[in-house]
Amino acid sequence: MKHNAVYGYARVSTKDQNEARQLFALQECGVAEENILLDKQSGKDFNRPAYRRLTRKLKPGDTVFIKSIDRLGRNYDEIIEQWRILTKEKQAFIVVLDMPLLDTRQKERDLTGVFIADLVLQILSYVAQTEREYMKQRQAEGIAAARARGVRFGRPARKKPEAFPALFEAWTKKEISAREAARQLGTTHKTFLAWASGIRL
């Protein structure tokens, strides 16, 4: 497969303003300025018009340079999916500047380059997934330990009005309805019943 066009892709968010560093690195490795596509978006908004434009442009044998692997996606599942699309569906080469092993151009000589790149991606994905699971486990253990010490989570309990005990007693004796008790307490029927049931609000 011969090499055709060479592109660079950069992505920055409002919290990660390293646009100049990425653009400089891409130009240093020979990507023409007009062939560098840049997306800017906030952390939670992953709308990427430039990346979509890039994938439409790509033809078999084209090469895409990126500064680091996390430019392809928000998590490793997404990164692996984009890697598959670019290398298998689009049949393009990918070069990750921060990780020399992630360079599929070696495919022209043998399958070793692609095999190593895919293997590295799988290892990164496994490590990332394992770390996410460890973090969830540590968080759960921390919450359990805090609860054992009497720490309460969530918003503070809503304090019952001083008149609640008397109205609660009247309600239990069926002297007034729950709705009437709630009205006198200045709260909702549902809240009064929750208080009466001992539910913490």
Greatest CA separation for the chain: 90
Q: Which of 124, 3, 5 is nearest to 69 (CA)?
A: 124
The H-assigned helical ranges of 58-188 are: 76-84, 112-148, 164-172, 178-185
Is 197 assigned a catalytic role?
no
Return contacts of 79-85, CB within 8 angstroms, 24+ apart. 79/121, 79/124, 79/125, 80/121, 80/122, 80/125, 83/118, 83/121, 85/55
Catalytic residue (one of 13, 42, 125, 197): 13
Active site residues: 13
